[in-house]
Amino acid sequence: MSRKIIGLGGALSDSSTSLWALEIAMASAYDAGAEIEVFDLARLDLPMLDLRVKEVPDSVKQLCAAVAECDGMIWSSPLYHGTISGAFKNALDWLQELSTDDRPYLTDRAIGLICTAGGVQGLQAINTMEFVVRALRGFAVPMVVPVSNTWQAFDAEGNLTDSKCKEQLEQLGREVHRVSGALATLA
């Protein structure tokens, strides 16, 4: 049976290495048999979460509807000052809209984690993402992919030049598809 995997990531920039990495993992999930949908934070254009505002924006409704129907997700954030980007955290904060669903938040969903970094500290953002996955009742797959030194790993057109890293991203896509299927049998 086909599983639906949602990709969430990118950066508010014209050339996002975190989006490029996410697209590789998502293509692998697709090749493994998943139905996929990618949410690029730059195109999604989410407003900042403001709990005083009662009207939920259409972009938030679109994201939350897709997440509510998915079996798993792959998250990809750039590393900014030792953690995930503000735009990525804001997107995760909007998942509060799923709190009253039959399957609240990310319950019984497999989540794969990617971080792209200019240096080698990508695991710092991945650790942050793991905390959020647990808080939202999801399951982070054990394999994570921190992409280090992205200025060397990708060329100007977004092609990944590091074959080992590409293999890891592809494996992550397959793993999220596999684990999301296993979790669905338990629900």
pLDDT at 118: 83
- Domains of the chain by start residue, with CATH: 4-186 (3.40.50.360)
pLDDT at 25: 98
Q: Which of 76, 2, 71, 95 is nearest to 38 (CA)?
A: 76
What is the rounded distance in angstroms from the CA atom of residue 145 to the CA atom of residue 113? Answer: 6
Would you tell me how many other CB atoms lie within 10 Å of the CB of residue 183? 18
What is the rounded distance in angstroms from the CA atom of residue 53 to the CA atom of residue 73? Answer: 27
The pTM for the full model equals: 0.96
Q: Give 10-residue mean pLDDT values along the chain (187 residues).
A: 91 90 97 97 93 92 97 96 95 96 96 91 92 97 94 89 95 97 83
Q: Which of 143, 173, 184 is nearest to 74 (CA)?
A: 173
What is the rounded distance in angstroms from the CA atom of residue 64 to the CA atom of residue 178? Answer: 23
pLDDT at 1: 66
